[in-house]
Amino acid sequence: MWQPCRSFGKVSPVRPVLTRTRAMSTIVGAAAIAWATACDPDPAEPEDEPVAQVTLAALDANSATLSLYDGLLGPVNLAGVSQALAPQKIIEQVEGGLDTSLADPTCLTLKSDRTSFLDLQFDRCRFKGVLLDGGLRVELTTEAGTCDGVECVAATVYTTRLDALTIGKSLVSAATSVLRIPTTPGEPRSYTAEVELTDKLDRELHLRHELTFTRKDGCVDAELGAEFMVDELAISVAATAVEICGNKCPRAGEVQIAWGNGQALAWEYTGDAEVIVRGPRGREFVLPLEC
């Protein structure tokens, strides 16, 4: 729960670090925020609101890109399938998903060698209601493992590369990402990416982020560490325990951001279509969410 009256110290933005446990990747947050013991509210600093707005825009663009990949490259039932035959089954599922999820499948040109890659060219397609226009290359590999004492495909790893792909309201000018999806349902998925994009307000953003998430009962639980640049300003972001169900606003989770010479802000998600952004010494303001 938010505690606005802890001691405040300077925070220097650092690049998020990805650490490994035995089972999953864990994001180490880019910012550690402490708060003032004096609770008399100060007025918001001039930079506060623009920085929070561009952070929300970057998180929204990241969410749209990940939703596309996760929807397009979802888990495949590989029980009893050998590692040699798994890629063909995975590609068949992706192709089948495109046929059912595109409003007009004829908008897509698809090429594949049936074993290692898919080249997708979207011509103003609607994928689950989201506009897609441009090209995307997906390369896939499988990881061998043991399932109940028997050799199996433990995970599928998708490496995606694109340039000039419109996803919803954002134009992604260049991006490379890796999405790892375990075969066992319920195990955490991991996603790392470096993206250059132009958002709906024509701001050019350079994002680098690392994410772990799980899906259950139509909801996503995620942890995120990110760093991005806008107008030569570096902003570090740490999001923890974020829960999103369907297309609704996040109903739980906390975001902390840091930039410049120790400036810091944070907010919590509650399911509302807005967040209360808080800073040191009781500063706060409200921003809308696009959900």
Ordered by start, the domain boundaries in the chain are 17-288
Contact 221, 213 (CB under 8 A): yes
d(CA 214, CA 244): 11
CA distance 259 to 142: 39
- Cα R_g (the chain), whole angstroms: 20
Report pLDDT digits (tens) over 168-194.
Answer: 888 899 999 999 999 888 899 999 999
Q: What does the DSSP 8-state code read for residue 16?
A: -
**Phi and psi of 87, rounded to 5°?**
-55, -40
CA 285/CA 283 separation, integer angstroms: 7
pLDDT the model gives residue 86 = 93
Predicted confidence at residue 22, as pLDDT, reads: 27
What confidence score (pLDDT) does residue 99 get? 92
Q: Phi-psi region for residue 56, left (φ > 0), alpha (ψ -120 to 50) or beta? A: alpha
Report how far residue 56's alpha carbon sits from residue 8's, in angstroms, rounded to the nearest whole number: 23
Residue whose pair of structure tokens reads 């921003």 in the numeric block: 287
- How do the pLDDT tens digits run along the chain, 291 residues long? 444 343 333 333 333 333 333 222 322 333 343 344 334 455 556 689 999 999 998 888 888 888 888 888 888 888 889 889 999 999 999 999 999 999 999 999 999 999 999 999 999 999 988 999 999 999 999 999 987 788 889 999 999 998 889 998 888 999 999 999 998 888 999 999 999 988 877 888 899 999 999 988 888 999 999 999 988 899 999 999 999 988 788 999 999 999 998 999 999 999 999 999 999 888 899 999 987
How buried is 24 (Cβ within 10 angstroms: 0-12 exposed, 13-18 middle, 19+ buried)?
A: middle
CB-neighbour burial class of residue 259 (10 A; exposed 0-12, middle 13-18, buried 19+): buried
Residue 77: name the closest of 67, 66, 92, 63 by CA.
92
pLDDT at residue 231, rounded to an integer: 82
**Contact present, 31 and 13 (Cβ < 8 Å):** yes
pLDDT, position 42: 53
